[in-house]
Amino acid sequence: MKFVAVTSCPTGIAHSQMAAENLEQTATEMGHDISVEVQGAMGAENELSAEDIQAADAAIVAADTAVDTDRFEGMPLVKGTVKDAVNDVESLLNQAIEAADGDAETTADTTETADDSGDGGSGEERERRGGDRSKSLGARLKRLFS
């Protein structure tokens, strides 16, 4: 499959770059093509062309800032945070794959807060957010300095 993605954080110095790199590496490992635009305080890097967007099966927006999604209208769109793209990129990509295989109007959003406790004790388990903790920045730094 072919994906386009936008990563964006307020400063755009490190986290959006890490998220973009993680999306690119993981998508390639999973056998998919991806083009990633990085947005930050300095502007946009690797801007997505209209051809890139038109050729894509789905779009991923991993952002902690406002990103204009009008150019992705009519295609499956998965939204998440930069943290999702750094710590749980497989989940974002799997959601994009699922959205691309399904209805083109589907929009998945992983930015819901985990502390919404309005289930009334229905017994349903909430999906654990944040991905594999062994891949987190803290765990990586701990391994680096140990």
- Which pLDDT tens digit goes with each residue over 7-28? 888 876 788 888 888 888 888 8
Respond yes or no: is residue 9 known to be catalytic.
Answer: yes
Cα–Cα nearest to 56, from 79, 73, 43, 41: 73
The answer to pTM > 0.85 is no
The one catalytic residue in 4, 5, 9, 20 is: 9
With residue 21 as reference, give the H or E element that holds it. helix 15-29
User: What does the pLDDT average to over 52-77?
Assistant: 88
- What CA dihedral angle connects 39, 141, 27 and 93, to 10 degrees? -80
